[in-house]
């Protein structure tokens, strides 16, 4: 029989990236007993820990309206001023708290604190230290497999530990902060982001929003996983014969993809002057490691580029939040960070990185505070039975994802003609069960990726227009009738509804 450890807590946080650690910190500061479970090692795992995060930190509230207007336009008119204002105010408050807690922010040239830059590795190490100091119990290398549910409420979760033993945490409130889904494309830090939280939330009855906007790709040297986009701002793209590839789309990666589908594309950061080169090298050190290791000077020598699917990590869809306390459609379940839909602040396109990390910090803080308040209001503890979780065959599911979800032909240049056969194959795979359950966590993640892909493609078929990241060649224009957020729920089949955009 498999060993199982069972414990009770007030708040359970699933995922230990920025969203999860901020949720845990605020729940603990509000007096809750908190357990945090991470699939890998909290402090080094996830999209932020591996990279630099520029943060949407706009200290002057007078320009918040202009910030909203810019994102509203680039995101296809689906974001809301109320959410944006609350997010920008929340980011100021939490970043100032981070400084008060002692995080060594870099300084600007004038000697002021540069709140807009977080260095992923030391930021996340710092967050781990803070939550431990606040009394949070951390379960590392302990992927969540499923949520516990009783009478329509989420009452904790269960998972597996590195030694193969099982764990169960009974909680009054649960925060899902398992990140987005990048479909194991290898983009820096994202191979843990397989949509496990999405699947568990969907099984519990949560709904999703904006899943059609989950086709973000990151530019990288073809030999590298580092999809840091900033240096590419100064890039010239060429074909093999040296002809320039013009950037004619809102997103440069889309212009590159148009050519890359059929032939190699090369880049060189030749538009960066000496000052910018110095600044890029000091601020984005890890972006240059792959070049240094290969002996390439990317400012003078061209190199082949590739695109890696970042899915909902830098796309915008995810679990639908019902209110600013980050409650989902299911009582007792909260969501934060990339796991939650960011549409209310950026619509159908992130349009440059920084809102993502602000979203993770602020929604994490809101979710942690709200979950701990919810926990205080509960009386008798409900202990639910742990059901077996549904699994999918590991390698066949991954292969299908590689073929039909990484594919720019299907996922980027969309039409019913390419999406329909792909989603039918994903549906067929969804009905398959693995021959044995030996690779429990992997088989669960394989199923989660199939689930997120099906949500994304079904939503893409449902939105019969082109808006922001979602571009359909069979519906090229924008439709006024679709100026709403698309909400989807279900498992074997899906139901759609619409959320109006508040002004």
Binding site for ligand FAD (CB under 6 A): 14-20, 37-40, 45-48, 51-54, 143-144, 177-179, 187-190, 192-193, 196, 227-228, 310, 313-314, 337-339, 353-354, 356-357, 360
Query: 468 and 349 in contact (C-beta within 8 Å)?
Result: yes
DSSP E strands, 63-122: 117-119
CA 435 to chain centre: 31
Rounded to the nearest whole angstrom, what is the least distance from the CB of residue 494 to ligand FAD in the complex?
A: 22
Rounded to the nearest whole angstrom, what is the least distance from the CB of residue 30 to ligand FAD in the complex?
A: 19
- CB of 144 or CB of 488, closer to ligand FAD: 144
Query: 13 and 23 in contact (C-beta within 8 Å)?
Result: yes
- CB of 167 or CB of 430, closer to ligand FAD: 167
User: Which contacts qualify for 294-302: CB closer than 8 Å, 24 or more apart?
Assistant: 294/221, 294/223, 296/221, 298/221, 298/231, 298/267, 298/268, 298/269, 299/268, 299/269, 299/270, 299/272, 300/268, 300/270, 301/268, 302/238, 302/266, 302/267, 302/268
From first CA to last CA, the distance across the chain in angstroms is 56
Q: In whole angstroms, what is the distance from residue 281 CA to residue 253 CA?
A: 22
Strands 333-335 and 166-176: parallel
- CB of 20 or CB of 205, closer to ligand FAD: 20
- CB of 356 or CB of 466, closer to ligand FAD: 356
- CB of 4 or CB of 502, closer to ligand FAD: 4
Residue with tokens 């030999």: 223
Rounded to the nearest whole angstrom, what is the least distance from the CB of residue 146 to ligand FAD in the complex?
A: 9
Rounded to the nearest whole angstrom, what is the least distance from the CB of residue 300 to ligand FAD in the complex?
A: 24
What is the SS3 assignment for 265-322?
EEEECCCCCHHHHHHHHHHCHHHHHHHHHHCCCCCCCCEEEEEEEEHHHHCCCEECCC
- CB of 19 or CB of 184, closer to ligand FAD: 19
Handedness of CA 288, 293, 298, 300 (dihedral sign): positive
CA 383 to chain centre: 30
Rounded to the nearest whole angstrom, what is the least distance from the CB of residue 480 to ligand FAD in the complex?
A: 31
Rounded to the nearest whole angstrom, what is the least distance from the CB of residue 116 to ligand FAD in the complex?
A: 9
- CB of 354 or CB of 372, closer to ligand FAD: 354
Rounded to the nearest whole angstrom, what is the least distance from the CB of residue 1 to ligand FAD in the complex?
A: 23
Residue 72: name the closest of 475, 336, 343 by CA: 343
- CB of 139 or CB of 482, closer to ligand FAD: 139
Rounded to the nearest whole angstrom, what is the least distance from the CB of residue 168 to ligand FAD in the complex?
A: 14
């Amino acid at each position: 029989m498999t060993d199982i450890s069972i414990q009770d807590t007030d708040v359970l946080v699933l995922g230990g990236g920025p969203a999860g650690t901020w949720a845990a910190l605020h729940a603990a500061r509000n007096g809750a007993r908190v357990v945090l479970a991470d699939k890998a090692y909290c402090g080094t795992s996830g999209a932020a820990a591996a990279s630099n995060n520029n943060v949407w930190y706009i200290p002057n509230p007078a320009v918040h309206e202009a910030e909203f207007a810019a994102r509203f336009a680039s995101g296809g008119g689906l974001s809301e001023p109320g959410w944006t204002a609350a997010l920008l105010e929340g980011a100021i408050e939490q970043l100032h708290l981070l400084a008060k807690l002692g995080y060594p922010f870099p300084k600007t040239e004038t000697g002021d604190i540069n709140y807009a830059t977080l260095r992923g590795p030391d930021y996340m190490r710092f967050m781990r230290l803070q939550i431990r100091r606040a009394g949070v119990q951390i379960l590392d290398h302990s992927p969540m497999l499923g949520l516990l549910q009783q009478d329509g409420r989420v009452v904790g979760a269960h998972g597996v530990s590195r030694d193969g033993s099982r764990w169960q945490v009974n909680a009054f409130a649960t925060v899902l902060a398992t990140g987005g889904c990048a479909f194991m494309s290898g983009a820096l830090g994202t191979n843990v982001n397989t949509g496990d939280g999405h699947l568990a939330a969907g099984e519990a009855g949560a709904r999703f929003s904006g899943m059609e906007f989950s086709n973000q790709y990151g530019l990288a040297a073809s030999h590298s996983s580092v999809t840091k986009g900033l240096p590419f701002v100064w890039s010239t793209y060429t074909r093999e014969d040296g002809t320039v590839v013009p950037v004619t789309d809102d997103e440069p990666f889309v212009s590159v993809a148009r050519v890359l589908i059929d032939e190699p594309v090369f880049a060189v950061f030749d538009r960066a002057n000496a000052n910018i080169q110095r600044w890029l090298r000091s601020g984005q050190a890890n972006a240059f490691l792959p070049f240094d290791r290969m002996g390439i000077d990317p400012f003078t020598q061209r190199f082949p580029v590739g695109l890696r699917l970042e899915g909902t990590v830098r796309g915008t869809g995810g679990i639908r939040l019902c209110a600013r306390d980050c409650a989902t459609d299911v009582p007792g379940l909260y969501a934060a960070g990339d796991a939650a839909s960011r549409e209310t602040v950026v619509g159908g396109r992130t349009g440059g990185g920084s809102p993502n990390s602000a979203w993770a910090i602020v929604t994490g803080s809101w979710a942690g505070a709200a979950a701990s308040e919810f926990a205080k209001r509960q009386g008798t503890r409900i202990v639910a039975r742990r059901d077996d979780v549904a699994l999918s065959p590991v390698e066949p599911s991954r292969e299908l994802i590689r073929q039909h979800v990484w594919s720019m032909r299907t996922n980027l240049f969309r039409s019913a003609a390419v999406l329909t056969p792909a989603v039918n194959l994903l549906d067929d795979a969804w009905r398959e069960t693995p021959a044995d359950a030996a690779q429990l966590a992997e088989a669960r993640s394989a199923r989660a990726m199939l689930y997120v892909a099906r949500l994304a493609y079904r939503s893409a078929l449902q939105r019969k227009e082109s808006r922001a990241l979602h571009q359909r060649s069979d519906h090229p224009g924008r439709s006024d009738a679709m100026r709403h957020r698309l909400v989807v729920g279900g498992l074997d089949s899906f139901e759609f509804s619409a959320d109006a955009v508040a002004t």
